């Protein structure tokens, strides 16, 4: 049973437009959520996170939104740049429980110049 | 500042052979974990550790052993390699298990023939 799901395997967006990547989770005990970016032949790199006590967190061009009632989070990238082309993973953890970080299957973003 | 170092980067094994994937971090992080990445499956947690001497199972622990004798090192052992263990393996660490981002190594690409 997949506890963290990214239902869109791929997404293409024009440069300068908004990219929206979605993630759903099933475990109500998750209270910390992260987004990672991964280039080929490299390890994932941390992008942005959000605690369950917030519903929005911004860092430059990246904003993460959390809807706890829907068990849904999204990553917005505005404006999208060709260098943003990568695979994006969302992850979730229980900070006071099992401490497991569970990842989604990833969404491949392609930003077209 | 090395961060998380994984060795080797590539390895080919025959079915039934054993080997150890090495992971070391120099950031004095308490939390370390191992993931495998397979096409369409995202990153799946194999084992994790919340501190020296403490390990626990993740989502896909079968066929793998770990130990954590020091804060810095968290090796992953395959006792009898199987073709189903062909994958890319990532090691990660974070300052604590209480909700911080993980830092990843660049991965070990393992092929079992």
B48-67 per-position pLDDT tens digit:
998 999 999 999 999 999 99
What is the rounded average pLDDT of the residues A74-99? Answer: 90
The residue ranges of chain B whose pLDDT is under 50 are none
Query: Quick check: B4 and A43 CB within 8 A?
Result: yes
What is the rounded average pLDDT of the residues A21-37? Answer: 94
- Contact in structure between A44 and A58 (CB atoms under 8 Å): no
Task: Spell out the residues 6+ positions from residue B39 whose beta carbon is closer than 8 angstroms to its own.
Answer: none
Distance from CA of A101 to the nearest CA of B (A): 7
Sign of the alpha-carbon torsion through A8, B41, A50, A41: negative
pLDDT in the model for residue B98: 60
pLDDT at A79 over 90: yes
The whole-angstrom distance between residue B32's C-alpha and the CA centroid of its chain comes to 8
pLDDT in the model for residue A39: 94
List the single residue in A with minimal CA-CA distance to B98: A95
- Contact in structure between A5 and A86 (CB atoms under 8 Å): no
DSSP state of B63: T
Out of A43, A104, A106, the one facing B104 most closely (by C-beta) is A43
What is the rounded average pLDDT of the residues A52-71? Answer: 96
* Residues of chain B in Cβ contact (below 8 Å) with chain A: 4, 31, 33, 35, 40-45, 48, 50, 56, 58-59, 90, 92, 97-99, 101-107
Range picked from A16-20, A39-43, A92-96 for highest mean pLDDT: A16-20
pLDDT at A63 over 80: yes
pLDDT in the model for residue A97: 60
Coil, strand or helix at A84: helix
pLDDT in the model for residue B2: 75
- B40: chain A residues, CB-CB within 8 Å: 9, 105
């Amino acid at each position: 049973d997949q506890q963290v799901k990214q239902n869109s395997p791929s997404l293409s967006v024009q440069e300068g437009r908004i990219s929206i990547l979605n993630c759903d989770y099933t475990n109500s005990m998750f209270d910390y959520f992260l987004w990672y970016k991964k280039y080929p032949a490299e390890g994932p790199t941390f992008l942005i996170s959000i605690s369950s006590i917030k519903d929005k967190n911004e860092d430059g061009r990246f904003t993460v939104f959390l809807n706890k009632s829907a068990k849904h989070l999204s990553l917005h990238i505005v404006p999208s740049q060709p260098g943003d082309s990568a695979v994006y993973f969302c992850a979730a953890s229980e900070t006071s429980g099992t401490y497991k970080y569970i990842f989604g299957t990833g969404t491949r973003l392609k930003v077209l110049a | 500042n090395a961060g998380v170092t994984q060795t080797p980067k590539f390895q080919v094994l025959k079915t039934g052979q054993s080997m150890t994937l090495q992971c070391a971090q120099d950031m004095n992080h308490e939390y370390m974990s191992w993931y495998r990445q397979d096409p369409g499956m995202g990153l799946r947690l194999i084992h994790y550790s919340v501190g020296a001497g403490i390990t626990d199972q993740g989502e896909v622990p079968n066929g793998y052993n770990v130990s954590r004798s020091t804060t810095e090192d968290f090796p992953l052992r395959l006792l009898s390699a199987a073709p189903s263990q062909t994958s890319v393996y990532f090691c990660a660490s974070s300052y604590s298990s209480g909700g911080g981002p993980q830092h990843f190594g660049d991965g070990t690409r393992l092929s079992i023939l």
